[in-house]
């Protein structure tokens, strides 16, 4: 088994940060659904403003929401653009959906093709 990208949200903008939380990333539930990321699924967050990268889990939030919770609230700030990646373990790459966002809304979608 190998670990491959399964879904990606590219250009998600941090809308809030809450240190007094047990830890996770709250992300617009419709975006999670569109990308195929489930609530409580492990995700990696990459902050494009400061190069911080961390692993957490996704929580479904309100439309347009991307809140950094717990310790992650110290790794980014409101207005930072981020990438959120979910992975899967499989024998071969099964393809992945990538949502490019503007203003935390889908601007375009591409699919990484399955391995042949």
As annotated, the active-site residues are 24, 57
The residue among 7, 72, 71 whose CA lies nearest residue 36 is 7
Whole-number Å distance between alpha carbons of 70 and 86: 20
Kindly give, in sequence order, each residue whose CB lies less than 8 Å from that of residue 108, ignoring residues fewer than 6 positions away: 99, 100
Give bridge partners of residue 58 from the DSSP assignment.
Answer: 25
CA angle (23 as vertex; 107, 11 as ends), nearest 5: 15
């Amino acid at each position: 088994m190998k670990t491959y990208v399964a879904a990606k949200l590219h250009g998600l903008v941090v809308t809030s940060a809450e240190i007094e939380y047990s830890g996770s990333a709250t992300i617009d539930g419709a975006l999670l659904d569109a990308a195929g990321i489930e609530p409580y699924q492990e995700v990696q967050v990459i902050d494009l403003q400061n190069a911080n990268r961390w692993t957490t889990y996704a929580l479904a939030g309100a439309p347009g929401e991307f809140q950094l919770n717990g310790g992650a609230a110290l790794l980014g700030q409101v207005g930072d653009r981020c990438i959120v990646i979910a992975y899967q373990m499989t024998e071969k790459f099964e393809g992945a959906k990538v949502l490019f966002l503007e203003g935390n809304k889908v601007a375009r979608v591409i699919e990484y093709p399955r391995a042949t």
